[in-house]
Amino acid sequence: MSVKPTPRVRVPTQAKPGELIEIKTLISHEMESGQRKDASGKIVPRKIINTFTAQFNGKTVFEAEWNPAISANPYQSFFYKASESGEFAFLWKDDDGSVYESKHKLTVA
């Protein structure tokens, strides 16, 4: 793969108690399905991100399983009801065992 996967996340830094916030994530990743052939006719091995997990203060708040049909550079958004200050941890797991992580703090006041 020519580009190292790079996660990008948009999380508000502050929210009011009970406020519904939108979280947007995108990861730069080629998402090879394993169904293409290279120039020499060999099958290009499958390499996709198969699991996306969002945790808040160590507790899973959102999880998605992705399959080969997911696009390159997958985008995922979801809503979260802010109730306390803490830290989000976003994890993308790849077929080869690689894990890409991004952390962001949220202050509820």
40 in a structural domain: no
The whole-model pTM stands at 0.88
39 falls within a domain: no
In CATH, what number is assigned to the domain containing residue 62?
2.60.40.10
Number of domains in the chain: 1
Residue 74 lies in a domain: yes
- How are strands ordered across the β-sheet holding 6-10? 6-10, 20-28, 75-81
Residue 1 placed within a domain: no
In this prediction, residue 35 carries a pLDDT of 87
Q: Is residue 28 part of a domain?
A: yes
Q: Is residue 89 part of a domain?
A: yes
Determine the straight-line distance between the first and last CA of the chain, rounded to whole angstroms.
43
Per the listing, tokens 């499958």 go with 46
**For position 2, what pLDDT does the model report?**
54
Provide the 8-state DSSP code for 5: -
- In-domain check, residue 73: yes
Residues of the chain with pLDDT under 50: 1
The domain of 91 spans: 6-34+46-108
**Is residue 41 in a domain?**
no
